[in-house]
Structure 1
């Protein structure tokens, strides 16, 4: 991939933020269902499937119940996508060869670095808040007030700043793996498609969407165990159940079985197929519109 014409940092940040916010709003119900499916249940109690979660949520809380905790991820996704694309372009530039090209392995490393940075700067606080608010919303008597700001204030009051950075390690692992797999898959597939297109021809949005969707599918199956551990470590009862991420993984494996690491795959698959298509398509169109170049 050539990086001779780099995006300006503000272009990458702005286009990534718009893409991230748009993607988060459109796909949030699937994220809500995935998170609910990953929480632990009492021994002998069967975890509900996606359709059951949707039906019971709408029955108990209405359609807006599927958007419980949506404020944090919209803000967080806008921030993390901006950071992700900014850092990816930066690392890609550092790893380019003298001809300005980035090989697939180097693209994977650039994606890994971008994912780690977004986990620290944006993802962990917003994901923790979102997970705690979703976990709280399913209780008969919710502990936290409704709304992003009062809910966040209550979480910080109860647990301190450290409370919203719970699960930092699994989030870093997940985001690093997510970005590494997603960016390298996307850039490799895009390079292949462009190699069969006319020189200088911009790819249609439907092609960009399809490539991004395929990258999303690959990302889901590779990184799902890290996502399950991350969700458990950010739940309201994490401190009582798990000593650390490794203890969490051990308990899931020994008490619930290996397949539990892929619980919530269906809704996450639905979200990341859409997410991959939406975020790359919006990013590339925004970057073109403001005078930059495509990824």
Structure 2
């Protein structure tokens, strides 16, 4: 029976998925974080009578005014959160997926989508939202890292989390959680569905369970690009909501609607898609890195993929 229809063995897979997913997340953050900083700055830009700076100009402005290292603002929050996030994403996806197999071992496209939705909600509630509140606060700070006298309010991720909780309360870390959950659910529903179906097709085409790394990267790139297109307005409103530092007695839904209406009224419908270019440029290659590293690490941990050895190269040099 082919890998597309055969129900996989799940015994011992939880730890493998957790470790492989966490490692993949670490590599993804290190490679793609500057694009996320540019995306956040574009989403936070407020209309001032001038044409909003584009993707390249926003990045150049950050580097010129705040140094190149400023593109990595908030990286600490991401690294602290992304390892458990990705571990949870893949392990929970495989868990939900295992519950949805048909008696003959096959799984439908709708079930794959539901497993992805479940994984997205799980990671959003447990890890992503608190991490993003801290990350966005750090990325929103306009200060030069080259000037030692320019001391920001939030020095690093742990300090930012401490200050936020102390001044605004623990619940602030969950500001916008409904939007984050909706965004992650649609992201991962689309992401895993497209990835798994293209992967199954290529496995059948090549008559093998193991695909070349470049094909895995291409599948991740395609699946990763489709998610942001499905929920860009949610992400823009979420960023504005999580950036605010003042307390409010209004319910989350009221504030979400208010921010959305204000954006459209002041800046037009296009404002809901602010930062979509860097977001796709961030998420798509990020998913290419994530799935490639995940598949490799899963193979290594399960013993199916040998670890590359440098001995043969050393012998050739000798």
Structure 1 length normalisation: TM-score?
0.92
Go from structure 1 to structure 2 and tell me whether the alpha carbon gap of 1:273 and 1:42 turns closer, same or farther (over 3 Å shift).
closer
The alpha carbon displacement at 1:3 in A equals 3.2
Query: Are 1:218 and 2:226 counterparts?
Result: yes
Displaced runs of 4+ in structure 1, greater than 4 A? 138-143, 237-243
Deviation of 1:90 after TM superposition, in Å, equals 0.6
> Any idea what the Cα deviations from partners look like across 1:188-209, whole Å, max 9, x if unmatched?
11111112112x3410000000
Deviations 1:107-156 (A, max 9, x none): 00100011001000000000010011111245997652322222221121
CA distance in 1, matches of 2:86, 2:180: 15
Give the superposed CA RMSD: 2.3
Match in the other structure for 1:184: 193
Q: Does 1:253 align with 2:264?
A: yes
Provide the secondary structure at the position in 2 that maps to 1:162: helix
SS of the aligned residue for 1:234 comes to helix
Call closer, same or farther: CA 1:115–1:238 in 2, change over 3 Å. Answer: farther
- Which blocks of at least 5 consecutive residues in structure 1 are unaligned? none
Provide closer, same or farther for how the CA distance between residues 80 and 124 of structure 1 changes in structure 2, counting only shifts above 3 A.
same
Number of matched pairs? 293
In our comparison, the structure showing a higher alpha carbon Rg is 2
Task: Give ranges in structure 2 of 5+ residues lacking alignment.
Answer: 306-318
Per-residue displacement from partner, 1:197-247 (whole Å, max 9, x unpaired)?
12x341000000000000011112112111111111111357579942222
- Residues 8 and 292 of structure 1 are in contact (CA less than 8 Å); yes or no, is this contact kept in structure 2? no
In the TM superposition, 1:103-114 aligns within 5 A as: 103-114=108-119
The aligned runs of 1:133-212 (5 Å cut-off) are 133-137=138-142, 144-198=153-207, 200-212=208-220
Contact 2:168 2:245 in 1 (8 A): no
